[in-house]
Every structure is written in structure tokens, then in C-alpha cells.
Amino acid sequence: MPGLAPDIAERLTRNSDGLLPAVVQQYDSGEVLMLAWMDDEALHRTLTTGRATYWSRSRGEYWVKGETSGHHQRVHEVRLDCDADTILVKVDQEGPACHTGTRTCFDDGLIEQASA
């Protein structure tokens, strides 16, 4: 069964659970929408289907964003950071990205605003 291309898999620096954080960003505005987790199979599915697929640590299963909510993420671009330990997924988000119903998962969490 085909999986993630070996040249890509060899580049990845995974955590002890075999996962990488995936920062999800709106492709045209740069808005950060959410953070999720991917393993090799989730990344392979994302790259081959164009639909954002993640690994749920709490449920122990793959999930395609929007499969149950209808709030799909159409993948425009996938990048790897300089340390090869974080994935950037640029998407076109349909509807809210957060499971709480907000546009992003970062709408409600201002901890401190930096002074100018």
C-alpha cells in the first residue's frame, strides 16, 4: 500500500508519538486558524486528496476537517519548517475552523498584549 513518499518521510522530525504539529493558515489572508497533529499517513492523505486530514490524539483516529461539520479545508499548499518538525498547511477554510464555532481557534485567548 503506497504511503508518504520516502524522500518526504526522511525529512520529517517527529515527536516521540510519531506526530508533527500542523499550523493551519488561511491561504490568502495569512490568518492562523488552528493547530492540529499529523503523522505520516495524515500528511500523505492531505497531499494526495487535497483535503486536510489530521490525527486525533484524544480519539486515536484520523479525521478529515469538515467531514462531519461541513466546514471543509481545501488545501492550497503544504510547507515544512526549517527544523522539519512543524508543518504549515495553507487552506481555504469554509465556515468556522474551530470546533467551538468560531472562525479561528485563537479568537478568545489573548493572554497579554505586547507593549509598543
Cell triple for residue 86?
512543524
* Residue 105: inside a domain: no
The whole domain housing 38 covers 6-93
* Residue 70 is assigned to a structural domain of this protein: yes
* Alpha helices (H) in the chain, listed in sequence order: 6-9, 40-49
Give domain status of residue 106, yes or no. Answer: no
- Parallel, antiparallel, or unpaired: how do β-strands 87-93 and 20-26 relate? parallel
Average pLDDT score over the chain: 93
Say if 101 falls within a structural domain.
no
pLDDT tens digit sequence for 5-55: 999 999 999 999 999 999 999 999 999 999 999 999 999 999 999 999 999
Supply the pLDDT for residue 72. Answer: 95
Is 14 within the bounds of a domain?
yes
32 and 25 Cβ atoms separated by less than 8 Å: yes
> Total domain count for the chain?
1
Binned at pLDDT 50, 70 and 90, residue 84 comes out as very high
Grid coordinates belonging to 55: 490525527
From residue 116, alpha-carbon distances to 9, 113 in Å are: 42, 9
Is 115 inside a domain boundary?
no
Residue 116 has pLDDT above 70, yes or no: no
Does residue 41 form part of some domain?
yes
Query: Does 104 reside within a domain?
Result: no
For residue 46, give the amino acid letter: T
Q: What is the largest CA-CA distance in the chain?
A: 54
Closest Cα to residue 65, out of 84, 93, 87?
93
Query: Which pTM was predicted?
Result: 0.90
Residue range 58-76: average pLDDT?
Answer: 94
State the CATH number of the domain containing residue 88: 3.10.20.810
